[in-house]
Structure 1
């Protein structure tokens, strides 16, 4: 799975739903006081105590992710994430999942580009069992051969489907074009060849090297007091190694545009993925880039790309573009789908609008409207305990201050029209990296072959 951190990137994220009881909270939850909690054993977490409903949501991450996959065995981290809840301690996979289901506990893991992330959600009364199950999954996972082969089969089935999925092919090729041989250039969930070669020893080595306290980040929101939470964190994470053994990953800038790649695939709709070098999260001009990106392609029905490509020309049902930032690089990346015989016109329309934004930047009216929307949407984006916990974890990974939520609107307000124009030139002044997947132009021009029934 191609997993980048992003404001609106829709290329392949798994969204988990807590089906037993919604993690609801009040609209003012984002304004609640965020505490920097340090457990008696030294485990740190950002914490919001909220007794609105008897629920606890925790998000956590270990540094490493898919960048730590061994050379030639892309997908190890992804398999580990899928297998950590498949039996641990004295429980086999069936027993482990029965205990989760019986107590309405949601536990999950995901390997992203730079992190092995996880979520834990539970009713307040089930917190001891929930944290205990997380502890055993981290410290004594089984990786039984039967479970490994079952999960491997599921992953490879998805990879086979990807070989005929134009969006997956476009995403894979785009990363190859952007990053080449760098770890970011390979698929986080691996390939059919690499996943087939992964051994149980690779999974155990990954856990031993990656799961450690020095890269651990935690965010907790819910109905638990600080003293109790500190004890739970120590019991859960205290037994992990003190230091990870990570392979250093170099910084890289995405390939400079313009570049264009075409992948022939006999499908009715052509997929276009486009993008280029982005802006790192710690860059002083990041917020200006974030605001102007909303104007170009991140604003849904109000974005320039939507108006030009969908509304004015009817070339596509949807088109979007967003910023994506990682530990060692950054991108802007977008996607659309169009009729095969209109692919060239669609790519030209996108290029023209991107070029116009790069040359002229936004208008003052566009900037004011974008700033107003981005400020007003924050409360809606953080209106549940799970959403807030996820955001607090991301802020830690992005090395933002603990009071960032309070400062965010003033940072947006400080973006001037000159800042936005400068960011637009930086992002879009060089053109695009473009990957097109679909029928070749000459094939589009050919009439469909007559079927026997039609010939009669």
Structure 2
């Protein structure tokens, strides 16, 4: 047989050696992590603040994200345009992202501009204007964005799923919040969140690139040393939520497809089972050749793709299968996914399946650390989750050491098809009758936007 019909064998994985982090700390509590890396004269700067959407007040969902969105609308003597132009003159721009556990502010540019970059970044977090006019404009944009997203089946499914799985827990809502919460939010709420949650004691400054650690520390000390804030504590506990095994049906009349989300609570990032769960996910639905995608796409022909993932957060996580299928195949797809989850718990996976999953995770892993930006994002994970410095060095050998029995063990402890929540966003007139035949309560749902 011609060699072109033979799948090439997997090569030897390249070991990862994460660059050394040079640590400093200011008297105000700000941690400074400098990672000299690469020969290209660029640097990525990221300020990580350990406060996120999980810190939203119960009646003000979306407040953390809204506050983050306002920080670059004016700082010190610069208005929004002035802030943007100041970063642009350095050949860069400021990205602000707010996740469940942290807010990050990042900028990538020339290494020789690092001092001015730190000056601008310090101004944004120390002297944000947070003006009423900017607040009203950004809030209106967000309300309009929610209106748009409410028409996206995928977003509706995601919102319904998170709400069902996490319930009233701090992780049980989207970053944008809801229209009702946003309309009740005032500019004073934003100012209060900034004053009470954003401060040096919960911040880590990460600088990666063609830089000298002592120079970065000196520049950071000059612009951040006066940053002072008394902030409240943040305690996001592991959720205590009863499993919701209902089928939540969100009606979308006339929809040709149904969006599906099927899953349940899962461990947080610090779990000792992390590597075994990553391998399990690769077998089950984490890659194109995984079991669920083969079943729904290749064997059934009812979807373009299906995948599973663990969303590892600081206090807890979730596991979910995501796919969209043709409407008349909705109930069958739900049954197939739940059956595949159960099959993972029944017997150890075959050696060749384990080898393929391990290779898919390890052979290209080193590509995640090619640039200063990638290394900065990796260091951000260390800061957010409190992980040890050798986390990435240990990944490849840890994955290769996982055996079939370990995968079976974590599947039996962490994959729970009988407790899984099912979310269906589709045409109820086509899907409801078949869904009622599944041995689960059927609940009409409408997530709040």
Distance 1:444 1:70 in 2: 36
Q: Does 1:269 align with 2:254?
A: no
Task: Sort the Cα spacing of 1:131 and 1:380 in 2 relative to 1 into closer, same or farther, 3 A.
Answer: same
2:428 matched to 1:413?
Answer: no
2:268 corresponds to which of 268, 277, 280: 280
Matches within 5 A, 1:421-440: 421-431=408-418, 432-440=420-428
Instruction: Answer yes or no: is the 8 Å Cα contact 2:349–2:408 preserved in 1.
Output: yes
User: Which of 323, 332, 342 is equivalent to 2:319?
Assistant: 332
**Distance between the aligned counterparts of 1:57 and 1:29, measured in 2?**
24
Question: What whole-Å deviation, never above 9, does each CA across 1:368-413 have from its counterpart, x for those lacking one?
Answer: 2222221222111221110111011102322221122222222222
Distance 1:74 1:40 in 2: 32
SS at structure 2 position matched to 1:302: coil
- In the other structure, the counterpart of 1:397 is 384
CA distance in 2, matches of 1:354, 1:444: 23
Please state how far the C-alpha of 1:204 moved relative to its aligned partner: 1.0
1:49-68 equivalent positions in 2, closer than 5 A: 49-68=36-55
Matched, 1:238 2:225: yes
Aligned residue-pair number? 418
TM-superposed deviation, 1:252: 1.0
- Which position in structure 2 is the counterpart of 1:186? 173
> For 1:214, which of 180, 194, 201 is the aligned residue?
201
Structure 2 residues not aligned, in runs of 5+: 1-13, 434-449
- CA drift of 1:242 comes to 5.9
1:56–1:223 Cα contact (<8 Å) kept = yes
Match of 2:366 in 1: 379
Alpha-carbon offset, residue 257 of structure 1: 5.4
Q: Distance in 2 between matches of 1:434 and 1:82?
A: 33
Q: Secondary structure of the residue that 1:335 maps to in structure 2?
A: strand
The normalised TM-score by structure 1 is: 0.86
* SS of the residue 1:270 aligns to: strand
Change (3 A) 1:99 1:260: same
Q: 1:38 aligns with which of 24, 31, 42?
A: 24
Residue number among 137, 151, 162 corresponding to 1:150 in the alignment: 137
TM-score (norm 2): 0.87
Which of 193, 199, 202 lines up with 2:189 in the alignment?
A: 202
Question: Partners in 2 of 1:441 and 1:346 — Cα distance?
Answer: 17
User: Which stretch of the first structure deviates more once superposed, 228-237 or 161-170?
Assistant: 228-237
SS of the aligned residue for 1:327 comes to coil
2: CA distance, partners of 1:383 / 1:254: 40
SS in structure 1 of the partner of residue 95 of structure 2:
strand
Q: Secondary structure at the match of 1:404?
A: coil
Matched, 1:86 2:57: no
Deviates more, 1:435-444 or 1:360-369: 435-444
Q: Cα–Cα, structure 1 residues 29 and 98, in superposed 2: closer, same or farther, change >3 Å?
A: farther
- Stretches of structure 1 that go unaligned for 5 or more consecutive residues are 1-27, 446-456
Query: Are the equivalent residues in 2 in contact too, given 1:73–1:190 (CA < 8 A)?
Result: yes
1:204-263 residue CA offsets vs partner (Å, 9 max, x unmatched): 111111112222233321011011110222234333336531343332145425332111
The answer as to 2:275 corresponding to 1:295 is no
State the shift of 1:322 in Å.
Answer: 0.5
SS across alignment from 1:338:
strand
Secondary structure in 2 aligned to 1:360?
A: coil
For residue 221 of structure 2, give the secondary structure of its aligned residue in structure 1: helix
Which residue is equivalent to 2:123?
136
How many angstroms does 1:77 deviate by?
Answer: 0.7
For structure 1, which segment, 239-248 or 288-297, has the greater mean C-alpha deviation from structure 2 after superposition?
239-248
* Greater mean deviation of Cα atoms: 355-364 or 290-299: 355-364
Provide the C-alpha distance between the structure 2 equivalents of 1:394 and 1:74, rounded to a whole number of angstroms.
Answer: 24
